[in-house]
Amino acid sequence: MTRHFNTETFRGDYTYHNSPEAIRRFPFPFDQDTYTYSVNIAPHPGGPTGSTFEFAFDVDEHYVSEMQDRAITLAEDPNRCQSLPHMELAGWDLLELIMVSKARDYPDLFTLNRDGDQWHWINRPLGIEQRFTFLDPATLPYGPLEYITRQTQGDFALLHERDRNLWLDAGMITSQADWSLDFDVGMNFFEWHAPVPKARQMGVFDKALKFLLAVEQQQAYRRLNWTMTVNPRLDTSPENYHKWGPEKRSITPQNVGQKQFLRVELQTFWRLPRSNALAFPIRCYLCCLEDLCTNPEWARRLHLVLRDIDPVLADYKGFAVNQKTIVEYLAGFSCV
Amino acid sequence: MPTVEFSPSIDSRPTYAPLKSHGSAPAIMVADTAGADALLDLMASDSAVTDKAQIVLIAPASDKLARMDLMVKTPVHTTPDLDTAGPLVRQLLSTARMGTQMYLAGSEGMMGALCALATACGLPMDAIQTEHRGTAARRMQCVHCKGITEDVTTDPFECSHCGLTLFVRDHFSRRIGAFQGVCVDAETPGLIPTTQEIRP
């Protein structure tokens, strides 16, 4: 299988783009014409050949450019990757999970040779070859969490379990929907999610925590979450809000199709074998309205969902100021 | 000073129950001058609470210090401000025994800073009690430059480090001991809402 990796940017001139194949496999998150919070969890991986659910860690045409964008963000702000001292073992667990999965699922791109604790990793798309001793951090250029997540699309939170709660004690967060790892690291599940409106009162977090605490070894699950982002920007961090905030107000009826993106998070949950921590990868997919509307059923459904959404959620998801323009654009694709 | 009633808020925003005695367990007690009243109330409820207590008062008014001296058998440590209290509390924590209780009383900023210091020193969160007294001023961290601005009483306010105008969130980090401040005019530079006093 030949693979193509886009040369594209997620800031500045924003040359990010989706091929027809990437649009076809975009994980459209709505299964009905209305939206409300739900836990919507399914086993992972597992899905049709070529879908974003097929493999444990999907590698797509944006891989190389996304990793370059992460490197830029980390160079400006190294605190986007943090690990409290007791989380290093969980970092090794995650490194193993990702290397084993990618070498199995994409043998043309990744190779992992293991001889006891002597490991040999080859990442062809990024041109990396590394020999190291598993569990010996001195043999890698970064800590295990940072090393592997500089080579894997999506944000990563590592959750430590104690006192029947989950604590956000490590993470690599450079493509977040406006939350700060540096501020939230060390928080428990309820503190970390406290700014999300309405959900706690609806019992969503109690249910989600109960589910996550029950995840066992060898089981993994996924859910989809979504928000809206102006321009294909991965780094919508609160740290840089004063830099990207003005772009949110740049939407016009003329440019909304190209500049307004549906941002979908493929969230997966994995129990890690040595540390018993939970890995919580948050993979971000971006697709502009114009590309989404090449699929008439998506155009029709997205129009209804965004038109009728609870105003509090429109505000929380950050598109209330552009809602009217977005809905009018989408209405043009709907045959009533 | 009386205890403070807080408005309902989000889960990360700390709440401050009145201090409750753990009897004669080893203890570290720290209060500012407003919080000293909470310690005096605690001692009045159970005199055994000071049996193995180290007490630190930050910039206490002389009458508070005099009343405290009458209540306890060991000398009361005093410091002129929070900055000088930090190293002293760290020293007390470094020699603290298992089961040591920490009682903090006074401003949110002081309690947030010392809570963060104590947990960083390894004291479990459930061994720390906090009771708010006095000012509703907040200790704020700027999410952009990470600088801390102490004693914030208005929303929005100006970051004392980078100068951005920040709005005051209820989102609180116990590790940092501060609330989060976020640029208020990020999307519409220059459009700043009317300044309001922070309410508890």
Q: Can you tell me which residue has the tokens 């203890």?
A: B27
The chain B residue lying nearest A85, using CA atoms, is B120
Residues 6 or more apart in contact with residue A192 via CB below 8 angstroms = A168, A184, B12
Both structure tokens of B88: 């002293």
- At residue A287, the pLDDT reads 98
pLDDT in tens, A286-321: 999 999 999 999 999 999 999 999 999 998 888 999
- At residue A222, the pLDDT reads 96
B4: pLDDT strictly greater than 70: no
Flag if B187 and A194 touch (Cβ within 8 Å).
no
What is the mean predicted confidence (pLDDT) over B97-107? 94
Flag if A241 and B173 touch (Cβ within 8 Å).
no
What is the mean predicted confidence (pLDDT) over B26-46? 95
Q: Does B182 touch chain A (CB under 8 A)?
A: yes
Flag if B12 and A182 touch (Cβ within 8 Å).
no
Identify which of A79, A184, A249 has the shortest CB distance to residue B173: A184
Q: Does B11 touch chain A (CB under 8 A)?
A: yes
pLDDT category at B175 given cuts 50, 70, 90 is confident
Q: d(Cα A317, Cα B167) in Å, to the nearest integer?
A: 19
B1: pLDDT strictly greater than 70: no
pLDDT in tens, A77-111: 999 999 998 999 999 999 999 999 999 999 999 99
* Range of A79-93, B67-81, B172-186 with top mean pLDDT: A79-93
- Range of lowest pLDDT (A180-189, A199-208, A265-274, B100-109): A199-208
pLDDT category at A39 given cuts 50, 70, 90 is low
**String of b and e for A49-63 (b: at least 16 CB within 10 Å)?**
eeebbebbbbbbbbb
What is the mean predicted confidence (pLDDT) over B157-164? 97
Average pLDDT, chain B: 91
Q: How many CB atoms lie within 10 A of CB A247?
A: 16
B89: pLDDT strictly greater than 60: yes
- At residue A153, the pLDDT reads 98
The chain B residue lying nearest A180, using CA atoms, is B143
**Chain B closest CA to A130's CA: distance in Å?**
35
Q: d(Cα B186, Cα B200) in Å, to the nearest integer?
A: 26
Flag if A241 and B11 touch (Cβ within 8 Å).
no
- Range of lowest pLDDT (A227-236, B83-92, B129-138): B129-138
Q: Does B50 touch chain A (CB under 8 A)?
A: no
Enter the DSSP assignment of A188.
Answer: B
Residues 6 or more apart in contact with residue B101 via CB below 8 angstroms = B22, B25, B26, B27, B28, B127, B128, B129
**Chain B closest CA to A188's CA: distance in Å?**
9
A173: pLDDT strictly greater than 60: yes
Catalytic residues of A: 223
A176: pLDDT strictly greater than 60: yes
Both structure tokens of A3: 């693979």
Answer whether residue A9 is part of any domain: no
Residues in chain A: 336
Q: Which fold has domain B27-132?
A: Rossmann fold (3.40.50)
Identify which of A190, A191, A242 has the shortest CB distance to residue B164: A242
Looking at residue A226, its amino acid is W
Enter the DSSP assignment of B134.
Answer: S
pLDDT category at B14 given cuts 50, 70, 90 is confident
Number of domains chain A contains: 1
Q: Does A194 touch chain B (CB under 8 A)?
A: yes
What is the mean predicted confidence (pLDDT) over B133-146? 93
Write out the DSSP string of B159-186: -TTT--EEEEEEEEETTTTEEEEEETTS
- At residue B135, the pLDDT reads 86
- At residue A118, the pLDDT reads 98
Query: How is chain B split into domains, by residue range?
Result: 27-132, 138-197
Flag if A242 and B11 touch (Cβ within 8 Å).
no
> What is the span of the domain harbouring residue A185?
20-331
The chain B residue lying nearest A241, using CA atoms, is B186
Q: Does B62 touch chain A (CB under 8 A)?
A: no
Q: Does A197 touch chain B (CB under 8 A)?
A: no
Question: Is the bond preceding B156 in cis, omega lying within 30 degrees of 0?
Answer: yes
- At residue B12, the pLDDT reads 82
- At residue B3, the pLDDT reads 63
pLDDT category at A2 given cuts 50, 70, 90 is low
Answer whether residue A14 is part of any domain: no
